[in-house]
Amino acid sequence: MRNRVLTALVLAPLALLAIWVLSPLGIAVLFAVVMLLGAAEWARLIGLRQPLYILLYLLGLLPLMLLGWFLHRSSLPPEPLLLLAALWWFTALVWLRRFSQGRGQLLASPAVAAVVGYIVLGLAWFALLVLHGLGQGPYFITLLLLVVWGADVGAFFAGRHFGRRKLAPSISPGKTWEGVWGGLVLAVLSGLVLHLALGPAWLGLYFLLPLLVLTVLFSVVGDLFESMLKRQYGVKDSGNLLPGHGGMLDRIDSLTAAAPIFTVALLWLWLVQ
């Protein structure tokens, strides 16, 4: 716990500072580094242990990021790709349900798992890029991160002290419904406080609250999806890069699902204003 708290106290302020001061290219590089670190852990999870194989896997992700960057900087709309990302995570819900019923073992195939890693990490990176490019982009990324972090912290403590009913025992035995509700409460409260302090006037509470709830729920889906991957490969943590937190992938699993859903929902809200 001590290492977990100290790591968070160091990395969280640095991440928020970078989001507010970096240029769009700087943001793209920052999140690319984060996703590539996650991709290296993903490769090791699915059995690509040799450095050469890990490097080749990372090189496969880079062209996708370059294409995403050019799309982001062009006049082409990002919505089709973001909708594809959202559709992917709704599909992942079905996948999780099938796995919890003893089916849906596709991730046990390294080839399938490798492609899924590109989808999960590449689309999350693109969503963060688009989000930063919106008006008040740094604020919205801060809101997203605060909600995801709040959901994680709230779930940890609520689950630890009040957890009784298992959420998905065949996927992640330690997660409980009480943890989900605790995470939801802390995440929504954190988002509301930030919004009252810095949020744009056009984003009313009648839009903000459903947006926060939806984001938290899909952050849980992202967490469970990585747990499903680790379950199929018999791994507890994706790595040990972050003291007290495990690997980078263990820290961004919730974000990989929350970012596309948050961005798509926010763009829709923007259009209906």
Give mean pLDDT, residues 120-129. Answer: 96
Q: How confident is the model at residue 134 (pLDDT cuts 50, 70, 90)?
A: confident
Give mean pLDDT, residues 130-157. Answer: 92
pLDDT digits (tens, 9 = 90+) for 205-222: 889 999 999 999 999 999
Of 52 and 107, the one with more pLDDT = 52
> What tokens appear for 139 in the block?
């604020």
Give mean pLDDT, residues 131-149. Answer: 92
Whether 211 contacts 262, CB under 8 Å: yes
Which of 70-84, 128-142, 229-243, 251-265 is predicted least confidently? 229-243
- Residue 114 buriedness (CB in 10 A; 0-12 / 13-18 / 19+): middle
pLDDT digits (tens, 9 = 90+) for 160-198: 889 889 999 889 888 999 999 999 999 999 999 999 999
Global pTM?
A: 0.92
Q: Total domain count for the chain?
A: 1
- Residue 200 buriedness (CB in 10 A; 0-12 / 13-18 / 19+): exposed
Whether 257 contacts 225, CB under 8 Å: yes
**The domain containing residue 139 runs over which residues?**
2-272
User: Residue 51 has what pLDDT?
Assistant: 92
